Amino acid sequence: MTRDLTTALEDDLRARIVDGRIAPGERLPSESSLLAFRTGAESGAAAGSPVSRTAAAGEG
């Protein structure tokens, strides 16, 4: 996965948290569902980085 896609996934996840589509305490979407939502075709294994970084930043 390219850095651009990783950044896009991280930005999408952050936006969902900030605008309230993901409530405090709610489970984060799976890595594969984030990737499928964004690309529709790539492996979900590569999406772990944006999920981990967003959660580590206290946003998830």
Write down the domain spans for the chain.
3-56
Helix (H, G, I), strand (E, B) or coil at 40: coil
Three-class SS of residue 26?
coil
Question: What is the per-residue pLDDT across 1-19, written as a single tens digit (0 to 9) for each?
Answer: 566 888 888 888 899 999 9
Whether the predicted model's global pTM rises above the 0.95 cut: no
The model's pLDDT over 34-45, given as tens digits with 9 standing for 90+, comes to 778 776 654 444
CA atoms of 59 and 36, how far apart (whole Å): 21
Instruction: Please check whether residue 31 is in contact with residue 45, taking contact to mean a CB–CB distance below 8 angstroms.
Output: yes
Say which DSSP state 42 is in.
Answer: S
